[in-house]
Amino acid sequence: MRNPYTAHLALFGTNLFFAFNFSAVKHLLNAGLMQPFGLNLVRAGITTALLWLLFFFKPVKTKIDPKDIWRFIACGLTGIAINQLLFLKGLSLTYSTHAALLMLATPILIVIMAAWVLKEAFSIQKAGGLLLGLTGATLLIVSGTRSGTGSNVLWGDLLVLLNALSYALYFILVKPLMLKYNNVMIIRMVFTIGTLVILPFGWQEFQQIPWASYSGRDFIYLFMIVICGTFLAYLFNIYGIRTLGASIAGSYIYIQPFLAALIAMLMLNERLSLFEIFAGCLIIAGVLVINMKRKGKVIKNQ
């Protein structure tokens, strides 16, 4: 029997790792030590290699139904390739605090996708939550520029929001697979497909990485992004969902922007204005309203 306290700790660790990613990525990008697509290739490539290494130590052999191959490919595109390319490019242009708050739109977009693709009921409650969340996201995007680490905030915010849309579509596509196959096996296949798609986009930037310019701290940040913020975070999240259920695991998404904002203040000297805090509260309120008294699943991404 799995220990629920360990599962709670794993879920907190997942969101702490995801929150740290925002600032660690910004540090590497701002210092000219990485470019977004090159970092994507490093992140996805090493995680894929570790997932296959895990398979050799603990193999779970599952035959894939030929009818599901197209769905695995679509999940690799939406959940890893498009998702991560848009996210890191958007994060390179906007503030890490903006990106963390906009990622809260993912559960709201999942509701829209579920109503459209899966024909799930769209109640007045969901409509109200959707209106709150999208209003908050819109206000955050048009909040204007300020001093900090964003070079093109509007475009960066839009890319992060498109990244959330891509992940929402991935969640809808992957749901049938999660009922049929081992979850770790799904992640391994999705990362493998996603990495192959990222490869031609990120190869040139990967070759330009100035490894000789990296300090010890820079390598620690990269380690945290790849090992903790990607590989371990995905595995911890699965463990939390299996032990506590998707609803409890999904509720941990609410602490992520607060942790990300705190870390960004310490690492990047970013500050949130009262207007941006208000916009963030609207997004959080929208997610809470949509998930009130419902048992829908929410899966997080970074």
pLDDT tens, position by position, 20-56: 998 999 999 989 999 999 999 999 999 999 999 998 8
CA distances from 286 to 17, 93, 141, 210 (A): 24, 26, 16, 43
pLDDT tens, position by position, 4-20: 788 889 889 998 998 89
- Look at residue 284 in the predicted model and tell me its pLDDT: 77
CA angle 102, 195, 238 (to 5 degrees): 60
Q: pTM above 0.85?
A: no
Per-residue pLDDT for 300 more than 90?
A: no
State how far the Cα of 11 lies from the Cα of 240, in Å rounded to an integer.
6
State how far the Cα of 198 lies from the Cα of 20, in Å rounded to an integer.
23
- Look at residue 122 in the predicted model and tell me its pLDDT: 62
pLDDT tens, position by position, 150-160: 567 888 888 98
162 or 249, higher pLDDT: 162
Q: CB-hemisphere CA count at 13 Å for 14?
A: 26
CA distances from 173 to 8, 47, 50, 68, 186 (A): 27, 22, 24, 11, 12
127 burial (CB, 10 Å; 0-12 / 13-18 / 19+) is middle
Q: Which of 58-72, 74-88, 202-216 bottoms out in mean pLDDT, i.e. has the lowest?
A: 58-72
CA distances from 161 to 29, 172, 208, 285 (A): 20, 17, 28, 18
